[in-house]
Amino acid sequence: MKNLFVLSMNLLLFFSACQMEVAPPEAIWPVPDENQLAWHDREQYAFIHFTTNTFTGKEWGYGDESPSIFNPTAFDAEQWVTTIQEAGLKGLILTCKHHDGFCLWPSAYTEHSVKNSPFRDGQGDVVKEVSDACRRHGLFFGVYLSPWDRNFAQYAAPEYISYYRNQLTELLSNYGEVSEVWFDGANGGDGYYGGARERRKIDNRTYYDWPNTHTIVRKLAPQAVIFSDAGPDIRWCGNESGFSGETNWNTLSVDTLYPGKPDINRLLNNGSQDGTSWVPAEVDVSIRPGWFYHETEDDEVRTPENLLKCYLESVGRGSNFLLNLPPDRRGQIHEKDVKALRAWKQLLDATFSKNLAANAPVSADTYRGKSKQYAAANVTDGDKDTYWATDDHVRSGSLEIDLGKYQKISYVLIQEYIRLGQRVRQFNVEAWKDKAWEIIATGTTIGHKRILPIEAVEASKLRINIMDAKACPLIATVEVY
Ligand code: FUL
pLDDT tens across 169-202, in order? 999 999 999 999 999 998 889 999 999 999 999 9
Sorting pLDDT into bands at 50, 70 and 90, what band is 344? Answer: very high
- Which of these three, 325, 351, 377, is where a domain ends? 351
For position 156, what pLDDT does the model report?
97
Are residues 337 and 468 both part of a single domain?
no
Please give the number of the atom of ligand 1 that sits closest to the Cα of 188.
Answer: 3
**Is residue 211 in some structural domain?**
yes
For position 4, what pLDDT does the model report?
53
For position 161, what pLDDT does the model report?
98
For position 16, what pLDDT does the model report?
47
Residues with Cβ within 8 Å of residue 64, at least 6 apart in sequence: 151, 192, 197
Are residues 211 and 334 both part of a single domain?
yes
pLDDT tens across 69-125, in order? 999 999 999 999 999 999 999 999 999 999 999 999 999 999 999 999 999 999 999
CATH number at residue 142: 3.20.20.80
Residue 54 has pLDDT above 80, yes or no: yes
Determine the Cα–Cα distance for residues 380 and 440; give it in Å rounded to an integer.
Answer: 20
Point out which residues pair with 235 in neighbouring strands: 230, 281
Are residues 320 and 197 both part of a single domain?
yes
Amino acid at 391: D
Q: Kindly state the average pLDDT of the residues 41-49.
A: 98
Are residues 311 and 449 both part of a single domain?
no
Sorting pLDDT into bands at 50, 70 and 90, what band is 459? Answer: very high
Q: Kindly state the average pLDDT of the residues 370-377.
A: 97
161-166: long-range contacts, CB 8 A cutoff, minimum separation 24: 161/207, 161/208, 161/209, 161/213, 163/109, 163/110, 164/208, 164/213, 165/212, 165/213, 165/216, 166/108, 166/109
State whether the beta carbon of 186 lies less than 6 angstroms from ligand 1: yes
For position 7, what pLDDT does the model report?
53
Residue 252 has pLDDT above 60, yes or no: yes
**Is residue 126 in some structural domain?**
yes
State whether the beta carbon of 358 lies less than 6 angstroms from ligand 1: no
For position 21, what pLDDT does the model report?
86
Contact between 241 and 285 under an 8 Å Cβ cutoff? The reply is yes
**Is residue 7 in some structural domain?**
no
**Is residue 19 in some structural domain?**
no
Residue nearest to atom 6 of ligand 1 (CA): 291
Which residues form the domain of 309?
34-351
Are residues 131 and 269 both part of a single domain?
yes
State whether the beta carbon of 188 lies less than 6 angstroms from ligand 1: no
Residue 227 has pLDDT above 60, yes or no: yes
Residue 8 has pLDDT above 60, yes or no: no
Using omega within 30 degrees of 0 as the cis cutoff, is the peptide bond preceding 25 cis? no
Determine the Cα–Cα distance for residues 273 and 275; give it in Å rounded to an integer.
Answer: 6
Residue nearest to atom 2 of ligand 1 (CA): 186
Residue 17 has pLDDT above 80, yes or no: no
From 100, 291, 292, 325, mutation site for ligand 1 pocket: most ligand atoms within 8 A of C-beta: 291
- pTM, entire model: 0.95
Number of domains into which the chain is organized: 2
Residues with Cβ within 8 Å of residue 338, at least 6 apart in sequence: 83
pLDDT tens across 113-160, in order? 999 999 999 999 999 999 999 999 999 999 999 999 999 999 999 999
Using omega within 30 degrees of 0 as the cis cutoff, is the peptide bond preceding 30 cis? yes
Determine the Cα–Cα distance for residues 149 and 369; give it in Å rounded to an integer.
Answer: 58
Are residues 190 and 312 both part of a single domain?
yes
**Is residue 58 in some structural domain?**
yes
For position 259, what pLDDT does the model report?
82
More confident residue, 123 or 20: 123
From 45, 48, 96, 184, mutation site for ligand 1 pocket: most ligand atoms within 8 A of C-beta: 184
By C-alpha distance, which of 29, 74, 58, 83 is closest to 419?
Answer: 29
Are residues 410 and 310 both part of a single domain?
no
Residue nearest to atom 10 of ligand 1 (CA): 184
Are residues 322 and 456 both part of a single domain?
no
Are residues 294 and 380 both part of a single domain?
no
Please give the number of the atom of ligand 1 that sits closest to the Cα of 47.
Answer: 9
For position 456, what pLDDT does the model report?
87
pLDDT tens across 263-283, in order? 999 999 999 999 999 999 999
CA of 171 to the centre of ligand 1 (A): 19
Q: Kindly state the average pLDDT of the residues 364-385.
A: 97
CA of 179 to the centre of ligand 1 (A): 20
Neighbours of 131 (CB within 10 A): 26
- Which of these three, 351, 383, 411, is where a domain ends? 351
Are residues 166 and 218 both part of a single domain?
yes
CA of 45 to the centre of ligand 1 (A): 17
**Is residue 121 in some structural domain?**
yes
Sorting pLDDT into bands at 50, 70 and 90, what band is 434? Answer: confident
From 56, 228, 235, 240, mutation site for ligand 1 pocket: most ligand atoms within 8 A of C-beta: 240
Question: What is the rounded average pLDDT for all residues in the chain?
Answer: 95
CA of 184 to the centre of ligand 1 (A): 7
CA of 189 to the centre of ligand 1 (A): 14
Q: Kindly state the average pLDDT of the residues 403-415.
A: 97
**Is residue 18 in some structural domain?**
no
**Is residue 100 in some structural domain?**
yes
Are residues 220 and 305 both part of a single domain?
yes
Contact between 431 and 398 under an 8 Å Cβ cutoff? The reply is no
CATH number at residue 419: 2.60.120.260
Backbone phi, psi, residue 377, to 5°: -55, -20
Are residues 81 and 128 both part of a single domain?
yes
- Which of these three, 299, 328, 351, is where a domain ends? 351
Contact between 75 and 133 under an 8 Å Cβ cutoff? The reply is no
